[in-house]
Amino acid sequence: MTAGIATNRKEKIKTIAHALAGFVIFLKGYNKWDNGHPFMGAFFVILGLLMVVAALRHHQISRWIKSFDVFMFATEAVVLGLVAYSYYQESKGGLPWAYGLSSGIYLILTVVFYRRGLIVKTNQ
């Protein structure tokens, strides 16, 4: 098995979801930085890069953090919520709603994976 690369379909989908969220957050940070907001831009760029790296190193990190998917989905939900708020402040049309919906979906996924982890632990 290659280190850091998902082997089954579900793991690949989760890895892609985490990496895409990180990439979108990175792009928002770059946009903020380019538009004269270096603090917010650097914040989003660093978080986006960390999320992409964490997604690609999912298997190694999950050895230390047992509920890594829950942690990632919760972090992504909060950051996507901040991106939605940022777009709302910029008076963008539908973008705040799209990012707010994405944040809500990630919150739901956080609860689903958290509960799934509890069920697995109680059945063992």
Model confidence pLDDT, tens digit, residues 41-78 = 999 999 999 999 988 887 788 778 778 888 888 998 99
Residue 2 in this model has a pLDDT that exceeds 70: no
Question: Residues near 84 by Cβ (< 8 Å), separated by ≥ 6?
Answer: 95, 96, 97, 98, 99, 100, 102, 103
Asked whether residue 112 is assigned to any structural domain, the reply reads yes
Chain mean pLDDT for the chain: 84
Residue 7 in this model has a pLDDT that exceeds 70: no
Enclosing domain of residue 116: 9-123
Look at residues 11, 110, 104, 99 and name the one whose alpha carbon lies nearest to residue 62.
11
What is the percent of the chain where pLDDT is above 90?
A: 34
Asked whether residue 31 is assigned to any structural domain, the reply reads yes
Asked whether residue 3 is assigned to any structural domain, the reply reads no
Q: What's the pLDDT at 97?
A: 94
Give the pLDDT mean for 32-42: 90
Give the pLDDT mean for 73-101: 90
Tracing tokens 């940070």 back to the chain, one arrives at 29
Residue type, 60: Q
Residue 1 in this model has a pLDDT that exceeds 50: no
Q: What's the pLDDT at 119?
A: 59
- The total number of structural domains in the chain stands at 1
What is the percent of the chain where pLDDT is above 70?
A: 89
Asked whether residue 4 is assigned to any structural domain, the reply reads no
